[in-house]
Amino acid sequence: MHIDNTLKQQKEYCLRHAEEIMRFARAMRVSLGRGVVVLEWSWPPIADSAGVPDNMSYLGRDGLAATGFGSEKDLTEAVLTYDPASQTLIICVARW
């Protein structure tokens, strides 16, 4: 699959599920603090009993550091400065 198609699909998915993603991010921020929503890409997600798709998880700041994402200066700065009332950070990762 061409990367432009993948990025377009990811954007469309995020726009289509924006409310659900924000709701999930807000709930996770309460328990884990500032962080990012991680969407594993690409397969059809299946919602669990709480309605959270199985391709969605959350990494708080500490979790980012543990995975190596925390070494990315721009991402770390974004985690510290985004407005959780109206924004969330999303990372799409390939699942093999």
Tell me the per-residue pLDDT of 51-84, one tens digit each, with 9 for 90 and over. 667 778 898 887 877 776 656 778 888 888 999 8
- Give the range of the structural domain holding residue 45, as residue numbers without chain letter: 3-68+88-94
Task: Specify the number of domains making up the chain.
Answer: 1
Q: What is the pTM of this model?
A: 0.74
Residue 82 lies in a domain: no
Residue 12 lies in a domain: yes
47 vs 58: which has the higher pLDDT: 58
Burial 10-31 (b: 16+ CB within 10 A, else e): eeebeeebeeebbebbeebbee
Region 8-26: mean pLDDT is 87
Residue type, 76: T
Residue 77 lies in a domain: no
Residue 79 lies in a domain: no
